[in-house]
Amino acid sequence: MLAHLLKNIGVHVIEAENGLIALEKVRKHSPDIIFMDIRMPVMDGRQAIHEIISEFGQDRYKIVTISASAMQHDREEYLALGSHEVVLKPFRAEEVFECLKNLLNVEFVYSEASPLSAEPQVSHDMDYSQIHIPEAIHQSLKEAAELHYVTRIRQSLPLLVQSGEEGKKLADNLNLYLKNYDMKKILTILNQVNSKG
């Protein structure tokens, strides 16, 4: 999920299945920033961070720890290990962007949102099973959500708006979940929606 998010904003991403491979790829590619998941096979994130800092020093690489633990003592441990920042799962896109901005001094240029309603609000009481949208749009959205293709979903929202009032309300809801990169929720909604020929 993190890799898809970064790729969608144009970041060159190198992935590693475990901490040992991560260490090898750091040696080979010398990345600008490292997002290190604590839970990994073979060599966990803690050990990988320790090895990276032992080999390259504290400030050679910016390291962001990804963890499911919200405990304060865990956060303090990761920072003490040498992490520059800690991001908790499930993370929001804004948190990742903030890390890139603060640690790499990059600036983001945000494109204008799709022409949906001015201030869309999530309709929590909406019965998605009563919504019918064109089959082609429905399939395209589901595939994009499964693959975490943010751009394709964003491009499909205006088509939903044009399909009628139901489509417009659905687009407003999907757009808000898209801003938080909540693909799981988007897919849950799309699985309840019906296709029409």
Contacts of 44 (CB under 8 A, 6+ apart): 19, 38
The pLDDT value recorded for residue 190 is 93
The pLDDT value recorded for residue 61 is 93
Distances (CA, A) of 156 to 56, 69, 74, 103, 108: 45, 35, 41, 33, 23
Q: What is the pLDDT of residues 140-162, one digit of tens each?
A: 898 888 877 777 888 888 888 88
> 2-104 is classed in which CATH architecture?
3-Layer(aba) Sandwich (3.40)
Which has the closest alpha carbon to 87: 45, 44, 30? Answer: 45
Task: Please give the DSSP secondary-structure letter assigned to residue 181.
Answer: T
> Are 81 and 44 spatial neighbours (Cβ–Cβ below 8 Å)?
no
The pLDDT value recorded for residue 112 is 52
Q: What is the pLDDT of residues 54-72, one digit of tens each?
A: 999 888 999 999 988 767 8
Question: Cα separation of 70 and 31, whole Å?
Answer: 27
> Are 100 and 33 spatial neighbours (Cβ–Cβ below 8 Å)?
yes
Q: What is the pLDDT of residues 87-146, one digit of tens each?
A: 888 777 888 888 888 888 877 665 554 444 444 455 556 788 989 998 988 988 988 888
Q: What pTM was computed for the model?
A: 0.55
Domain boundaries, the chain: 2-104, 128-196
